[in-house]
Structure 1
Amino acid sequence: MKLFTIGFTKTTAEGFFARLSRANVRKLVDVRLNNVSQLAGFAKKDDLKFFAKSICHIDYEHFPALAPTQDILDEYKKSKGAWQIYAEKFLSLMAQRKIENLDKDALDGGCLLCSEDKPHHCHRRLVAEYLKDKWHDVEIIHL
């Protein structure tokens, strides 16, 4: 199984959708808590759904179960918390939510979307790695 990840900041719409197309992504899986963000004009949920279908011929789905809670996010972003503490809390949240019970086929070939341009300090990487640990046969590809 392949699981892609992508961020939308520090890129153009052209570059973003070209990466999705080249990778043959099957579905854009939005893992943001707030998918109406103003960070990128093309990344608001309704626009993103339209562009994904029109440009890449792929579906879009918001998976809030794969997003941190507002409390966890605020502690890290607004209070400038430590990445390690954020990661530990989010990993614990995913375990509590039992995200490994999600439909594996629905995520196969999907691309986890978040705002961070790189996956290093982004929860989409934590989601992908958590699922790989639980499902074992996951190849993670960061676009």
Structure 2
Amino acid sequence: MPLSTIGFTKTTAENFFGRLQSAGVKKVIDVRLNNTSQLAGFAKSNDLAFFLEAIGGMGYVHQPLLAPDPDMFKAFKKEKGDWTIFKDQFMGLMSERKIESKFNADMFEEACLLCSENLPHECHRSLVADYLNSRWGGVLKVKHL
């Protein structure tokens, strides 16, 4: 089951939406804690939902349950925390929230997890994909756009 991930910083709107279209994404699942970011105007929640539908016929849903809590996010991003500590804390939070039982794999088919980070290697969207895949027996075929 294909699942993509994407970040919107350090890219243009043309490149961002083009990558989504080329990957065959049908729905974007926004995993940001705050989906009204000013980092890129096209990525604010209402604008993003409009552009996704208008440009590619894609759906949009915000899932803050798949985001770190505010204190965890602040410690890592704003206070330049350690990735390993953040990763362990966030994986624990997803387990505590039991996100694998609140969603099913079908909801992620042809979807794309969205957050702000340009690259996936130190981004919580990758952790969400890894966590769910580990709980669902590896059914998600994850591709980072």
TM over 0.5, yes or no?
A: yes
| Distance in 2, Cα, partners of 1:128 & 1:16 | 20
Identity within the alignment, %:
55
Corresponding residue for residue 143 of structure 2 = 141
Corresponding residue for residue 6 of structure 1 = 6
Give the gaps of 5 or more residues in structure 2: none
SS at match of 1:29: strand
SS at match of 2:51: helix
Corresponding residue for residue 113 of structure 1 = 114
Matches within 5 A, 1:20-35: 20-35=20-35
Contact 2:105 2:140 in 1 (8 A): no
Contact 2:2 2:140 in 1 (8 A): yes
User: What per-residue deviation string (whole Å, max 9, x for no partner) do you get for residues 48-91 of structure 1?
Assistant: 00000000101000000000000000011122110000000000
Alpha-carbon offset, residue 94 of structure 1: 0.4
Matches within 5 A, 1:1-143: 1-101=1-101, 102-135=103-136, 136-143=138-145
- Report the TM-score when normalising by structure 1: 0.98
What count of residue pairs does the alignment treat as equivalent?
143
- Partner amino acid for 1:105? D
- Partner amino acid for 2:96? Q
| Distance in 2, Cα, partners of 1:103 & 1:64 | 16
- Report the TM-score when normalising by structure 2: 0.96
| Distance in 2, Cα, partners of 1:22 & 1:47 | 21
CA RMSD of the aligned region, Å?
Answer: 0.7
Alpha-carbon offset, residue 109 of structure 1: 1.2
- Partner amino acid for 1:104? A
SS at match of 2:37: coil
Alpha-carbon offset, residue 3 of structure 1: 1.1
* Aligned structure 1 segments of 4 or more residues deviating by more than 4 angstroms: none
Higher mean alpha-carbon deviation, 42-51 vs 126-135, is at: 126-135
| Distance in 2, Cα, partners of 1:78 & 1:48 | 25
Contact 2:68 2:93 in 1 (8 A): yes
